[in-house]
Each structure stands twice: as structure tokens, then as C-alpha cells.
Amino acid sequence: MIDKNVLLFKQDLENFPTTALKTLQQYLRLPDVNREDLVWLIAIHQAQKSQKATFPMGESLSTIAAGVGFSAGILEDKSILVWGIDKDKLTPTESLEGQVIQIAAGDIYLLALLENGTVVGWGENSSGQITVPDNIQGHVIQIAAGTNHSLALLDNYTVVGWGDKFSDQITVPDNIQGHVIQVAAGFNYSLALLDDHTVVGWGDSPRGIQSLQGKPVIQISAGEYYALALLEDGSMVGWGNNYTGQLNIPTFDKQVIQIAAGAYHSLALLEDHNVVGWGGHNPQDSIPPTAIQGEVIKIAAGWDHSLALLKNGSVVGWGDNYNGQSTAQEGPFLVPLPMIKSASKR
């Protein structure tokens, strides 16, 4: 009797274009066979990997973030876990002045918001993206990391930016009408969601933001050259670059409760806690494994990989895994995460 997971994977793979299957064939180092046999081989390989997907660390994550070639999460003790490229450089080695309550992943840098309302950062600093201004007036309540620039939303509903300023992406407009309640950062642009459910963009903002007019927005997410918005009715809108189909939003039979824009692929978490993905240079970047076991509560999209946080605190990763950012040794499935922990004061 054929394993049900193999059949589920085969069903998904049958819809893949031949070019995508060939890419997977090379990636998995499978023999040169016809399309039908190749589908079976990939399905068997992926099902075997999914059966090994366990999380035996004894600790669980409360949130996740995905950057370029690395992933990060906050552990139950409020310390930071990093895996993938330059994990040592992206992990704090000194004690933090308070517990970490939020993280944001840029290209090759990481920001953390502490419970005392301050922000710290690690990693690449070529544009000053982790050099947090020391004259911030107020407590930070949310952070966002773009390619090489960073944003902080303060408790007085104003926004501060630092890092790369080539396209004025950190020059916050002084004519914003209303209170900012969420910020997002892309390649060379920034977005702000206001309390009247409208969205403001600055820098080299992707074209098409006017498509949101008259549509109440409740969440935003910034990709490399495109952006997504979650509307009050549980539907989605996207605008900007669509080179890899990242704006080809599927028709959902359930409401969307969270969105995530990667560099070139998009994710949606539905109200039934299933994840849908589309776009990307490689279908593996966006399309989640069929065999995710458990209730997904958060999603994150990086440059070319994706993460899902389950209710039990474990993580599933898929997509490119050249630096171990998808938490797999080979292929897009969960394996035990390396214990690269930050120092944290309780």
C-alpha cells in the first residue's frame, strides 16, 4: 500500500511545470527519467523527508522571521534563535537590557525590539541599518527591516527610519494624516498603515498603491519590489512588480488572517490555519509541503524560503536551503534547529 503522504505530494507535483520538476531533479540529484517517473521519485523523496520532521529540542518558538539565507525566532525564555547564513554574526553575544518581544529580518541583518521599548541590531551594517538612532523620542512598539533600511513605530504613532537613504526610504513624510499603526520595509521603499485603514508609501514605492483606494486595509507586508495588503473582509490585494507571479493571488474559499511577502514569492495564512503560497523563482520557495502536521499560527517569507510556526512552538521551513535557513539538511523540511541562542536578561 502506497503511503498517503507520497500520494499527497504526487498530487501537488503533477501540477508543477516540467521546468520546475527538472530543477527539483537536479537539486535532489535524482536520475534522468520521464516526467511521470520523476513525479513519483520526488514525491517519495519528499514524503520520506517529511516523516523525519520532528522538533526534539524541548524548547518552542513564539515568533519567527526570515531574511536572506537565514531564519530567526524568539524562544520561550525571550532569547533569540538564529539558523542559516552567518548565524553567529546575527546572534547577540552580550546580555540584552530586557527581554526580546519582536524581531525583524532584513537582507543579512536582524533587529530586535526589547520590552523596554528600545531596538538593537546585528549583522550587516554597510548602510547603517543596524545603527539605531540614539535620539528616538518615545518607546518603540513595532519594527520593520528592509533590504538595507530599518523602521520603528513609536508609541506616539510616529515613524523613525535609519539606514540606506538613496531613494528617501527613511525620509518619513511630514504630511501623514492620521495615526500610523503598522510599518513595513521593502527593497528601497517603506509603507505605513494608518488607523483609518489607508496605506501611505514613500521612497521608491511600488506602483499601484492607488488600487487600495476605498478598500479598508488591516495588515501590510513589503516584498522586494512589490507589496501585499490584507483587507478587512479577509481578502488580499497586491501591487508592484509581478515578474515571478507573486501578485497572482489565488481565489480562496477561506478568509486570510495573515500575509507575508518575500523577495519574489507570497504567502497567506487562512482562517483554517492552512498555508497557501505562490510566485517565486522556484515553486519550492512558496508552495508549502503538503504534509505539515499541526496548526499553523504564523508565517514568514524570506528571500527564497518560507517558514511556518505551529501552535506547539515548532517550525516548518521550505524553499532554498543552501545555508540551512529552511532548517533542513537536504530538502525543505524541518529538522532539529541548531542551538545558537542569544544571551537574555529576564
The answer to whether residue 315 scores a pLDDT higher than 80 is: yes
Which of 316 and 105 is assigned the larger pLDDT?
Answer: 105
Which strands make up the sheet holding 80-84, listed edge to edge? 61-66, 70-75, 80-84
CATH topology of domain 58-319: Methylamine Dehydrogenase; Chain H (2.130.10)
The answer to whether residue 275 scores a pLDDT higher than 80 is: yes
Which of 231 and 93 is assigned the larger pLDDT?
Answer: 231
> What is the average pLDDT across 81-101?
78
> What is the average pLDDT across 306-333?
66
Q: Which of 22-36, 80-94, 157-171, 311-325 has the highest mean pLDDT?
A: 157-171
The answer to whether residue 54 scores a pLDDT higher than 50 is: no
Q: Which of 8-17, 148-157, 177-186, 261-270 bottoms out in mean pLDDT, i.e. has the lowest?
A: 8-17
pLDDT at 225: 96
The answer to whether residue 236 scores a pLDDT higher than 90 is: yes
3-state secondary structure of 50: helix
Which of 169 and 71 is assigned the larger pLDDT?
Answer: 169
The answer to whether residue 256 scores a pLDDT higher than 80 is: yes
pLDDT at 230: 98
Global pTM value: 0.79
**For residues 94, 100, 103 and 109, what is the CA-based torsion angle, rounded to 10 degrees?**
-10
User: Which one, of 185, 179, 178, 183, lies nearest residue 157 by Cα?
Assistant: 179
3-state secondary structure of 65: strand
User: Which one, of 103, 117, 155, 148, lies nearest residue 130 by Cα?
Assistant: 148
- CATH 2.130.10.30 domain span(s) along the chain: 58-319
pLDDT at 64: 94
Which of 14 and 267 is assigned the larger pLDDT?
Answer: 267
pLDDT at 284: 65
> What is the average pLDDT across 161-173?
97
216 confidence band (pLDDT: 50, 70, 90): very high
pLDDT at 28: 63
pLDDT in tens, 1-49: 566 667 766 776 776 677 767 766 765 677 888 888 888 887 776 655 4
Q: Which residues of 90-114 are buried (b: 16+ CB within 10 A; e: fewer)?
A: bbbeeebebbbbbbbbbbbbbbbbb
> What is the average pLDDT across 191-206?
97
Given CA atoms 274, 280, 285, 291 in this order, what sign does their dihedral have? positive
- Residue 179 to residues 170, 212, 221, 233: CA-CA distances in angstroms? 18, 18, 18, 22
pLDDT at 119: 96
Which of 332 and 243 is assigned the larger pLDDT?
Answer: 243
